[in-house]
Amino acid sequence: MINKREIIVGMLLSLTAVFLFGSCGSEDAPEVNYVNPSVYFQPADSDLSQTAVLRRTFYQQTGCFLLFNDTLQHRLLGTDINGDQQYFTETVDMTYNVGQTNTSTTSYTYTYLSTYDEKKQIVDFLNTYVLNHMTKQIRPFSFFICRQIIGVNNLGTSLRPYATSNQRCTAIAAYYLLQRERTEEQKLNYAKTIINAMIGQMAQNNSNAFTTFYSYSGKYYSANFSAAGITTSSITTDQLRKLGFLSSAASLTYLPSQDTDLTAYTLLVLQYTDAQIQSMYADYDIIIKKATEMRSTLIKLGYVF
């Protein structure tokens, strides 16, 4: 049975709802302040330069945005109390992935390409040697092409990668091709290095697809030797092979990580056919099974061998 107190409370709630509805109805609907982030990966509509045309054409043909500068936006916010202008700047941060805390200890700087001919040369290379291996579903959101990528890790060690990837961009250092004319074999090997960096990120974006591959050696990733039943202080290459690892025994203190294993097998299937791998690792059944699974997974995701 409903008492008077419940009736009064119900009336008050109803009146509150009416007032709120009337208040909302009398005001303009709120506007969503949203800017599609893809606009920062494109040249301005007013830019009719050769480079801008190259970037637009590349996107139309490949579905990937094209950058030659790591600055996405740089806009004036206003002035501070001292009268100094304050800007907001967003760059392509290759150590950052959307939704993740940046834990990378490596920082990158870049040198840019200086001429249109250099830019066009690298774009032609991408189309001929890299993108022909990837359907649109696994191509990166964007490419940032520069002359050189210079990295420094937490130990102060200098790095010069040919390519590096995150969720929305693959950065490519073009100096290898620009130094001098390369042979066809050198171009193919350079392309495989770039593709490997891209596939590493693709694997992170499609981690569930690699579950079977990881299962073969998963319990050993980054483990100490005792976890694999090895009682000595060192491990041999033969022992690593029997566990399904391609890494060399030299300088290892722990078993290879999942990322290291993924990279090793990606390079293996890019460089060799199934028949060649079966001949090279005839005594290591796990390696052959992992290589077969890796190739199959890449094909399912859209890689074209």
Half-sphere exposure of 118 (CA within 13 A, CB side): 17
- Is the whole-model pTM more than 0.75? yes
CA angle 263, 269, 271 (to 5 degrees): 100
What pLDDT is recorded for position 229? Answer: 86
What pLDDT is recorded for position 16? Answer: 45
Q: pLDDT of 223-237, one tens digit each?
A: 988 888 888 777 899
What pLDDT is recorded for position 3? Answer: 46
Point out the residues of the chain with pLDDT beneath 70. Answer: 1-35, 97-105, 250-251
What string of DSSP letters covers 14-44?
Answer: HHHHHHHHHHHHHSPPPPP----GGGGGS--
Query: Does residue 294 contact residue 269 with C-beta atoms inside 8 Å?
Result: yes
What string of DSSP letters covers 253-289?
Answer: SSPPPHHHHHHHHHHHHHHS-HHHHHHHTTT-HHHHH
What pLDDT is recorded for position 106? Answer: 85
What pLDDT is recorded for position 31? Answer: 60
CA–CA dist 145, 268 (Å, integer): 26
